[in-house]
Amino acid sequence: MSAQPQLLALLLLTTDTVAAERLVERLRAAGLAARALVTARADRLNDLLARRAFDMILWWRHDNDQDLAEAIRRRGEHAAERPLIMIATDTPGPDQVLEAQQFGARGLLALADEEQLIWTIRREADDLRQRRRYRDLLARLKQCERRSRELVDHTGAAIAFVQQGLHLHANSAYLTLLGYPNLDEIESIAFLDLVEPDQRDKVRDLLHSAERTDHAEPVEITTRLHSSRGKALAVDLSAAHAILDEEPCLRLILDPVRHPETPAKGGEMVSDIAAARSAFFDEIETRLGTDRSVPLPFAVFFVRLRRHSELLRDLGLTHGLDVVDGFGPVLASVAARAHALTRISDDGFAMIVDGLDEKEAEALAEHIREHARLPQRPASNARIAPDCDIGYYLVKGRAAAAQDILNAAHRLCVYSAGSPGDCAGGMQTPTSLAARTKQTAMDGDTEVADKIATALGNQQFKLVYQPIISLMGDNQENYSVLVRLLDGNGELLEAKDFIGAAIRRGLIEELDKWAIRDAVRVLAEQRRAGHNLRFFINLAEDTFRNPSIILHICDCLRELDVRGNWLAFQFQEELVAENLASLGKLVDALKQIKCRVAINRFGATNRSEMILQALPVDFVVLMPDFARALAEDPAKQQRLMAISNLAREFNVKSVVTGVEDARALTVLWTAGVDYVQGNFLQRPSPTLDIQP
């Protein structure tokens, strides 16, 4: 869409309306979009100055109105904001030039010199727009700095800003790490005074290097500090150039160096289970890229001893613990390829095996189950069943958080223990909707993926909107944002026709990022037009697993000047249950920028209440199945009532989708549902049909 020329509002101070109209016509003929207000009344000028209702003043000085001249002289602070051009009857003389300078005029021209007058007006209009643009950018910069300061204050990382070696600002994590109760206590302390004496020279060199490199990448070093209580702290110190309150300074980030006992190969087990878990998670993280991509696939195994409590009961506590501890070396010898073999819980062991595919992982699990035996067992004449249950999780593509990966392996181990017969619990049943979609490629994927890639580069994706209507009188206009693909015939393909291929071919992240930016753009336009909108946007599993998605969202909000609370991001319940650790971090970040959070397809699993307990959710969006034939199904009505009550207990709003008939609305209202959505109310539309 072509940009409309900006309208120039002129205030023409003259009694000669004919000359004023002729000037405006000449300006329009010269390509300047202008509108004009003509007056010669001094009292009206004061009112117009106060309301800032125009961009530029043109004053026909030959009118010789002293009241008007005095009003112009008193315009004070408005002088720089509204340029004044004086127009003389004839060529200006020295006295008129001096007078123009005294009035603060930006130009003094003869009325007959129209070309020069038009050029001067154009120049001043361009200059005015540039100055306004500068002020707008400066205001946005200050807003960004303010938001950045808020994020620094709320983040868990220890961050401080120093200038000439002294602390300007430090967040609570920094103060807590160093043992200072408040900022006042540390402001007078030089940062180098916190550094151990033998480390100060290299830290000083690091700070000087960061100052010289200006806006380059942060410089880092591992060093030792001491807290206010004299406790030594080993930290990774990162220093980078920054601006705080319009002053150049250095931003320092302190990351305490952790020294967990190294997860050992073989039978050397870590005795501290909490430290062991942390170290095991670190081992997983070292195998992932910064965007959580997996360069080399690997498998995480969880091995759980059977009859753990019976062993302790039958053998006695101390002897039973010795037997359990002896299982570590046995497990290490059986699984020779394992890395980071770690005692995770009283009866559980975890390990990582690199470079496995599904068949190899299944074979290894079966081998461990068959050959990993307790070194001493209670006497029995019968052949003893396997001593352990096993679950494994293959990590490839885009990884979840390390905690979620271990949870998945543990869950599969529990499933295998409950399965009939002895079997290794692997990924025969994928753990999430995205995993099920990715499991096997389908015919036509290549063709659809090519269409998606082409559409992303040629603006062939379109957003459509379906209203989410309040049953409780909420005046907020909520819309679900859906993506459609424009095919070669000009028809809009629904998401079900291409989303699966997008996930399987690794294009879903780019598609989600496009949808976020375009939705934010439309939202900004609608908000500027005065519409009170909120958009609900879905995020796929691959998208929310990538830590950079929050940066993309923040960039869109900042660039388009949109508030976070105008957006609600939706996550499918099946995916939430398998990615609680990953999503917990993202949801916390979304809450920091005031975005709302919704759980989509709510009620699809038996862990709905657990999700509400774990995440600060604002909305639950129920599966369409709940609304289907609702009026004729008392059991479904009871289930709906229970979910609605559960949501209210957690102060969460409920949304029922798939509403297809009027009778369902009565049931939903009676059940206390907050919002409804469905084709019966309005089908998805490329335009926002907003009622005034």
Give the residue with greater pLDDT, 436 vs 511.
Answer: 511
As a whole number, mean pLDDT of residues 670-684 equals: 89
Pairing mode of beta strands 56-60, 8-13: parallel
CB 369 within 8 A of CB 390: yes
Residue 82 has pLDDT above 50, yes or no: yes
Assigned fold of 155-256: Beta-Lactamase (3.30.450)
pLDDT for position 270? 43
Query: Where are the domains positioned within the chain?
Result: 8-134, 155-256, 273-429, 464-482+509-676
Strand partners, 680: none
- Spatial distance between the Cα atoms of 178 and 175, rounded to a whole number of angstroms: 5
- Spatial distance between the Cα atoms of 444 and 266, rounded to a whole number of angstroms: 47
Assigned fold of 273-429: Alpha-Beta Plaits (3.30.70)
pLDDT for position 269? 44
Give the residue with greater pLDDT, 417 vs 502.
Answer: 502
Question: pLDDT band at 267, cuts 50/70/90?
Answer: very low
CATH of domain 8-134: 3.40.50.2300
% of residues, the chain, pLDDT over 70: 88
pLDDT for position 377? 53
Question: pLDDT band at 557, cuts 50/70/90?
Answer: very high
- Spatial distance between the Cα atoms of 449 and 472, rounded to a whole number of angstroms: 42
As a whole number, mean pLDDT of residues 421-446 equals: 50
Tell me the one-letter amino acid at 295: P
Domains 8-134 and 464-482+509-676 share a fold: no
Q: Provide the edge-to-edge strand list for the sheet that holds 8-13.
A: 34-39, 8-13, 56-60, 84-88, 107-110
Residue ranges in 162-307 assigned as alpha helix (H): 172-178, 183-187, 200-212, 273-285
Please, what is the angle between helix 580-592 and helix 402-418, to 10°? 140
Structure tokens at 378: 């209670």
How far lies 138's CA from each of 91, 127, 152, in Å?
Answer: 40, 16, 21
Domain at 464-482+509-676, CATH homologous superfamily: EAL domain (3.20.20.450)
Q: What is the pLDDT of residues 617-664, one digit of tens each?
A: 999 999 888 888 888 888 888 888 889 899 999 899 999 998 888 888
User: What are 99-104's contacts with CB under 8 Å, separation 24+?
Assistant: 99/61, 102/73, 103/69, 103/72, 103/73, 104/79
- Spatial distance between the Cα atoms of 100 and 61, rounded to a whole number of angstroms: 10
Give phi and psi for 252, each to the nearest 5: -110, 135
Q: What is the pLDDT of residues 581-615, one digit of tens each?
A: 888 889 999 999 999 999 999 988 888 888 888 88
545: which residues sit within 8 A by CB, 6+ positions away? 292, 398, 399, 400, 579, 582
**What is the Cα 128 distance to its own chain's centre?**
36
Structure tokens at 598: 């919704």
pLDDT for position 258? 65
Stated pTM of the model:
0.54
Q: What is the pLDDT of residues 230-252, one digit of tens each?
A: 778 889 999 888 888 778 888 89
- Spatial distance between the Cα atoms of 74 and 54, rounded to a whole number of angstroms: 17
Residue 63 has pLDDT above 80, yes or no: no
How far lies 683's CA from each of 482, 534, 680, 687, in Å?
Answer: 11, 18, 7, 11
